[in-house]
Amino acid sequence: MHSVRLMLGVLAVASCQLASAAQISFSGTVVDPAAEALTTWVYQGTYTPAASGLAAAITNATLTLTRSGGLLYTFTSPLVGAPSNNQLLLVNGGSGFKIRNKFSTTPSGIGSSYSLLTIDVASVGAATVASEANIEALRIAATQVTGAFDFSPQGVFSSEALTLESPVPQPVPEPAGVAMLLACCLAGGVRLLRRRVCIKQS
């Protein structure tokens, strides 16, 4: 009975940690200016789902631009500025959402004065709360994903303003990822139980 309670406790802690933060990601190409047509982008963000309201705070984010030849330029958190500069906001009556990030850590000589990313997701639905379930449903059902990245100085890039696009439909998360996480939690619980048994026996 004690071992069962301990295992449930491990799972409960894991569930609480999962509920406190959610992940969202997009990737695509730069469609303007034409000189950056071979440049690709990947965005990964961590946000705190809202229990009520249209906005969810983004707590961590990374934008990576890959230019022709494989050169990487990464903009990362800590995020700076007003909360409105780092949030995920439901728009258009809950049928889409907008991501807005202002980065402070930038590649040397690029975007050190300012670097602001916006991603606009047009979808279907009528979400009234920026919860993880609602955001994920809107992401999967997206009909258009566009963005803009404004930064200065531009460094090696041909412009201080890049227009971004991500293909739709967006990929659906694989159940294997959730299963793997639960398996890790269970494995950790088993190790803890074995350790306690060994201590008692010794």
Over residues 65-94, the pLDDT tens digits come to 999 889 999 999 867 677 888 999 999 999
Domain hosting residue 52, numbered range: 21-168
Residue 189 has pLDDT above 80, yes or no: no
For residue 134, is it within any domain?
Answer: yes
Long-range contacts of 39-43 (CB under 8 A, 24+ apart): 39/65, 39/66, 39/67, 39/68, 39/157, 39/162, 40/65, 40/66, 41/65, 41/66, 41/147, 41/149, 41/162, 41/164, 42/66, 43/99, 43/117, 43/119, 43/147
In whole angstroms, give the CA distance from residue 134 to residue 51.
Answer: 11
For residue 201, is it within any domain?
Answer: no
Least confident of 8-17, 47-56, 107-116, 183-192: 8-17
Residue 175 has pLDDT above 70, yes or no: no
Residue 155 has pLDDT above 80, yes or no: yes
For residue 3, is it within any domain?
Answer: no
Q: What percent of the chain has pLDDT over 90?
A: 63
Mean pLDDT, rounded, for 113-124: 95
Q: What is the pTM of this model?
A: 0.77
Q: How many domains does the chain have?
A: 1
More confident residue, 3 or 52: 52
